[in-house]
A and B are shown apart, each in its own frame.
Chain A
Amino acid sequence: MTQHESGKIDNRTTITLIVNGSQREVELEPRVSLLDALRERLQLTGTKKGCDQGACGACTVLVDGERILSCLALAVQYQGRQITTIEGLANDGSLSALQSAFVTYDGFQCGYCTSGQICSAVGMMREFDSGLPSAVTQDVTAGSGGLSSEEIKERMSGNLCRCGAYVGICEAIRQTHEAGFAR
């Protein structure tokens, strides 16, 4: 366990991660992914491991409000950042508007991709509301217009659902965004 003055980490060390608002100490090697740190060390198993190579989106979490893939992230790179997992989205034990919408509009079947879908959608709606265009936005120099089904499909393409619940997923997101609940 060595952490030099320069901040160099050689081997197993203890780092502090801020997860869902709490400071959590975790002992790990630099090669441990954020996904494994969350699931195996902090027992936050709501975040799922699908492909473990950045192709499926099941491991999506939010860092400082932005969606990322925790499987391609080294935990040591995320010290001091605000990490939000699916466990941090509910308010005092009651589901967030988007989580409820996934139930109402059948946004899942087996549920394995769901936490990634929901975290991704939270980040996506925030990106959309900040004016970020997408590959299907007609004019990138203009604002991003309305959140159409086409925009949702393009912006959520990094999250795969092997059950094929895409219609329900899109509808849950569209309804939540339309109702003004970005989270």
Chain B
Amino acid sequence: MLDYETLKLVWWVLVGALLIGFAITDGMDMGVGTLLPFVGKTDVERRIAINTVGPHWDGNQVWFITAGGAIFAAWPAVYAAAFSGFYMAMLLVLFALFFRPVGFDYRSKIADPTWRKAWDWGLFAGGTIPALIFGVAFGNLLQGVPFRLDELLRAHYQGSLLTALLPLLNPFALLAGVVSLAMLTVHGGTWLQLRADGAVAARARTFVVALAPVVTIAFALAGVWLWLGIDGYRIVAEPSHGALPNPLAKEVVRAPGAWLDVYARMPIAVLVPALGLVGPLATALLARAARPGLAFVTSALGMVGIIGTAGISMFPFVMPSSLDPRSSLTVWDAASSHLTLTVMFWAVVIFLPIVLGYTVWCYAQMWGRVTAAEIETRAHSAY
């Protein structure tokens, strides 16, 4: 059995892995949703785009759901404070995601063009709004979230409705939102280039080549801003990492540049943001060279770099508090009990490889470009 401190660290890696898994799989079909109105001019073209992800989007979305469940089980304090603290943002994400299951399944059940166009925009919203807000959420985590914990560890926040939502949409957070949206759109674009046919793939290629450099530029800008303009958080006194979790037992200060501490302490960590900068550029070049398979891989690696950068820069913080820095939640003091982390660790060790195995099998069974001829012959059953 792993000791408590090690398990807490392992769970930080596992939650990160689930979020990255979500970005690589579900991010792909959300990106397809964002591109849908632009890569498909005719109904058949749009159906081609939709059917490249049709059999898989639902399984992909489970990465999002499982990441939510895993945060609940492994970091209950984070699950409690984050989703209620970002209440309005979370509602926007949910309402946008509502369009997807019905959009995919209902769109082609009725031939009326208005009906189909309406669902196309639904799929666009369901891909675009969450992609943007996930980035905005990370942008706010990096700046600290206005919450505090009382003596019973109940979380309290500032504002409600618009007074809670609008401060989240600050310039730095919006820049982070641009990084996230552009990165998922590029990722979806590489998939369309790989799996769609004809004009759809060609248009997707144009978008990837144009948007991938935007990811790198926005990510670099956000890095500079984080270095020069955003105060990070630093723990100055804390109980041992293996102690029973109690967020209020530590002392935290805000300090300029504190989010870059890790790169001074461990210079090799610079490779992570470097991957985030290079990945999208390689994607642009490979897409241009008509190598969409490799472009998909480098796009995925770029996302590992970008999400990884946010994770390691904040480590061990998960959700810093701008209102009361002591209330900040970290890997060490937001975790579940030793037993729960152990049980959940084994659940992941057993089930994640099985999940990956049958997911690959399902993609393999459905492999091949989706063509206009295929859509026309399967008009009654295809999405």
Query: Are chains A and B native binding partners rather than an unrelated pairing?
Result: no
